[in-house]
Amino acid sequence: MAVNNPTLTALDVMRDAPVIPVIVLHEVQHAVPMARALVAGGIRMLEVTLRTPQALACMEAIAREVPEAVVGAGTVRSVADAKSAERAGARFAVSPGYTSALGEACKALGLPLLPGVATGSEIMMAQADGLQALKFFPALQAGGLAMLKAWQGPFGDVQFCPTGGIQPGNAADFLALSNVACVGGSWLVPADALAQGDWGRITALAREAAQLQRA
């Protein structure tokens, strides 16, 4: 299989905007207008989680109809997940944890991977496989700001995307850290805004997120 994105790296995904939206879609018809709303607000790296039966169809629709968006797959837990996501048009993958098998599969597919880590040993495992851009998950439950600050010494060559418990009220604190490239958060796509088709609200939330300052 041809490599999907030879020029896109995980760090590119993380540095594109201060926030990567963590998106849960239950209705395929919401996918395209939601993606357009996020792009209009300045957010184009879109993590559509594999948490619903409709997720792959939603990715396909976004990849086909919103070329200015870069759709990624979230909650990628297996090689099969990675392959399905790549076939659906995903251009990057985000996982809640890390295995070498998943890392190798994503590399073969040309999918930049943001693997979830919560301990020093997990960081070292990912680094041993050549990964330097990692997702810190679940961020608040795993130590939050204090943990990221502690990692700045031994893992100063790693950039993180903390995800899990990140909200507008604490996002700036995480983004102020030198080892945080971006944060992941679900607040950009509220369930009630999706249900109501309130695309203007999603664009406004994206615009606010895109203007957050990073270190």
The neighbouring-strand residues paired with 72 are 47
Cα separation values, 44 from 81, 87, 100, 147, Å:
22, 20, 28, 29
Could you tell me the two tokens for 74?
């979230």
- Name the nearest CA neighbour of 134 among 186, 190, 185, 179: 179
Contact between residue 75 and residue 51 where contact means Cβ atoms under 8 Å apart = yes
Catalytic, 149? Answer no
| Catalytic residue (choose from 27, 47, 65, 68) | 47
The type of residue at 129 is D
Could you tell me the sign of the dihedral formed by the alpha carbons of 199, 76, 164, 115, in that order? Answer: negative
- Catalytic-role residue among 27, 83, 86, 135: 135
Enter the tokens of residue 132: 């330097």
Is 135 annotated in the active site? yes
Contact partners, residue 119, CB within 8 Å, separation at least 6:
142
Q: Which residues are catalytic?
A: 47, 135
